[in-house]
Structures are given as structure tokens and as C-alpha cells.
Amino acid sequence: MSLQGKTVISLLDDEFEDLELWYPVYRVREEGATVLFAGPEKGKTHIGKYGVPATADMSFDEIDSSQIAGILVPGGWAPDKLRRYPKVLQVVQELDLAGKPIGQICHAGWVLISAKILQGRKVTSTPGIRDDMENAGATWIDEPVVVDGHLISARRPPDLPPYAKAFVDALAAVQ
């Protein structure tokens, strides 16, 4: 239970990739952290690409980056929606400046691109947004997981075990 007493936010919107949302959430919870879902509207249920629901515990506007240890951004089509919320981008920027873990997988890199935090960073993602990541100033690496400081990125669902482990390890290092 290395993460006891820590709170993590998992961002939520429609058409998230079900495994990319739930697998890391369960791993972080298994280590003792509290994981809360934040969405556009508190209490709203969102449905993943394959039909698995998740309900927002809070709205984006309720997130206080000083009170959380890290954030998970799922893939799927949700990131294209998530990056349109100024508060989401603000929270990602604040966590980046604070050096707190930011986990992103697959298409989640779109959120980090829109938050303008990728210049000079090493990342991975689904190959489909490789050009987007590179155009944002990142060095894209075709590896299951790339860790660049507090930024943890992965490509797709088969990479979930090492991605979740790297994210848990990064959270355990947060004071």
C-alpha cells in the first residue's frame, strides 16, 4: 500500500477507451490511493467505446491541483473532447510545473499537446498521433512505456501493465 493517503484524478468524457481508463485506476487503487473521476459535470455517467460506464465524482472546475498527487488521462476519443476544456489544460499545466505524475496513453497525448507541455520531452503514444506529438516539440519513441521525469506515457492497451507500474512508481516517489 505504497500510495496510502494520496489522491489521483482520472479525467473522464464520452468514448474513453475502456481498458485505458479502468486498468490504471484499479492498479492505483490497489496500491492504496484514492482515485476520483473528474468530468465536465459532477454525477454524469460517461460510456466508454466498448460500453463500460464511469461516473464523474467531481467536475473539472472542482479540481484543485494542489490537493492531488497525479493525474491519469485515458485514451480513446475522449482526449479530443478533454483538450477543449480550459480547466483541464490548466490542471495539466499546474501538475507539470509541480512535477507531479501525469499519465497518458494512446490518444491522451492530445491533451498534453493542447496544454503545451511537450516541448523537449520524450514520449510515446498510439502511432496515429506520432506526428502531432513531434509537431508539439516532443521526441516520440516507439516503446511500450516512456518515462520522462514525471511524465509517463504508453502506446495502447497491450502496454497497460508496464504503464500502470511506471505510474504507480512515480506516484510513490511524490512527497
Name the packing angle between helices 160-172 and 18-30 (round to 10°): 40
Clarify whether 107 is annotated catalytic.
yes
Q: How do strand 151-154 and strand 45-47 relate by DSSP bridges? A: unpaired
Task: Output Rg (C-alpha) for the chain, integer angstroms.
Answer: 14
> Do residues 20 and 48 touch, judged by C-beta distance below 8 A?
no
> Annotated catalytic residue: which of 107, 121, 130, 156?
107
* Residue 15: Cβ within 10 Å count: 17
Residues with catalytic roles? 107
